[in-house]
Structure 1
């Protein structure tokens, strides 16, 4: 049992939280489609640039792809569990953005966005995207390029960015209306249900921290399939 059980927010409480977020956080000029386009364009530029810079990749260098995938899956889990759901000095913006805004905007009973302006409550703001790129990609890229090879560093960057945009698109898709075509894709409903369970106020700080693929959740026994 968990030490603290949170009460379910009422429909009115969720409506109030959504309206407050829209009033305080969403500019009249904001366009969700542009926000999504920024994320996808940035990722695509890095992916294409990294791919074009690869040269004569050796067999062992390709191991950077599965290793990076495992690293990204663990980083997703750890960042979600220990930064997004717990206040950490210097990373308060991430905690506030996720635990205090995203999880008040969406609960397990209120998962759907109303329109594209609500993308602001799901997608990472550009400032946080820039932060994660500088904090997690750039230093490791430099170390790998110096200590192993440029190809390994490029494969790390390429795979990491594919994982990131996959994370963002999956997360957004989970919050689309249930009659959207994406919910009919094979296997998607199961992943969406895992994320819905995570948005249960009783479980959000304890279960289902992988947004994309629940490998580390399974490994760390934080996977809840209910």
Structure 2
């Protein structure tokens, strides 16, 4: 039996609080990330090359984290990740399916973006311990670059994922590399692939390394049957 994503969208939208603001949601996340990045960069002074390397390495760590969380918590029922599973597989993948990817209003941003409070969990539980450890064992610069890369990676995730769900005709479709990344995410939203392929959201580094990358040309994919949409 075909999944009725339109009926799900109607039920989901009806349950969204009338006080919800997509713009406020987006702004609060962006402001938090910007303040952390600015504060971290302000503390850097006379950094060495080794300290600078903490920046790309921390972003690579976030890329690995997005892959792991997405693959083993977002698409598998576990006790520790049941809330994430419900919001991701239960809500996001029911709201957006392969042939219905764009959001239609700012109120739909609630099911595109992470909850606004999650960035604070990320800061307190993942970034702060790393900052304290690097500051104690290495240097203030190393800790600052780690914080910048980690929160930058989080923001990169939010921006890229949001852009994948932009309405048709956006700049994503006119930029070759971004168009390909958007198409990878569209393929991930195919209901028979979502639990097995294309788990990276930003750059498909670990999909390539761990053999979970799946690609079809947009022309081929457009011919796929829509029976499950």
- TM-score, structure 2 length as denominator? 0.90
Matched, 1:180 2:180: no
Give 1:29's aligned residue.
19
Residue 59 of structure 1: aligned partner: 49
Choose which of 124, 134, 139 in structure 2 pairs with 1:144: 134
The answer as to 2:202 corresponding to 1:219 is no
1:77 to 67, 73, 84: 67
Of residues 112, 115, 118, the one that matches 1:128 is 118
Note closer, same or farther for the CA distance 1:116–1:14 as it changes in structure 2 (3 Å cut). same
* Stretches of structure 1 lacking an aligned partner (at least 5 in a row): 1-6
Deviation per CA, 1:120-158, whole angstroms, max 9, x where unpaired? 011011222222222221222221111221211110110
The CA distance in 2 between the partners of 1:134 and 1:82, in whole Å, is 22
Distance of 1:33 and 1:182 partners within structure 2: 20
CA–CA separation in structure 2 for the residues paired with 1:75 and 1:56:
30
- More displaced, 88-97 or 202-211? 88-97
Deviation at 1:72, TM superposition (A): 1.2
Once residues 136 and 88 of structure 1 are traced to their aligned partners in structure 2, the CA distance between those partners, rounded to angstroms, is 20
**Segment of structure 1 superposing worse, 189-198 or 67-76:** 67-76
| Aligned-residue offset at 1:28 | 0.4
Q: Against the structure 1 CA distance between its residues 83 and 199, is the aligned structure 2 distance closer, same or farther, given a 3 Å change threshold?
A: same
The question of whether the paired residues in 2 share the 8 Å contact of 1:8 and 1:201 is answered with no
Shift of 1:208: 0.5
Equivalenced residues, count? 216
CA distance in structure 2 between the partners assigned to 1:205 and 1:87 by the alignment: 11
1:157-176, CA deviations, whole angstroms, 9 ceiling, x for partnerless residues?
Answer: 10111111111011011111
- Mapped partners of 1:129, 1:60: distance in 2: 27
Aligned to 2:225: none
Match of 1:119 in 2: 109
Distance of 1:114 and 1:81 partners within structure 2: 27
Deviation at 1:101, TM superposition (A): 0.5
Deviation at 1:8, TM superposition (A): 5.0
SS of equivalent residue, structure 2 residue 117: helix
Partner of 2:32: 42
Structure 2's unaligned 5+ residue stretches are 217-229
Any runs of at least 4 consecutive aligned residues in structure 1 with deviations exceeding 4 A, and if so which?
A: none
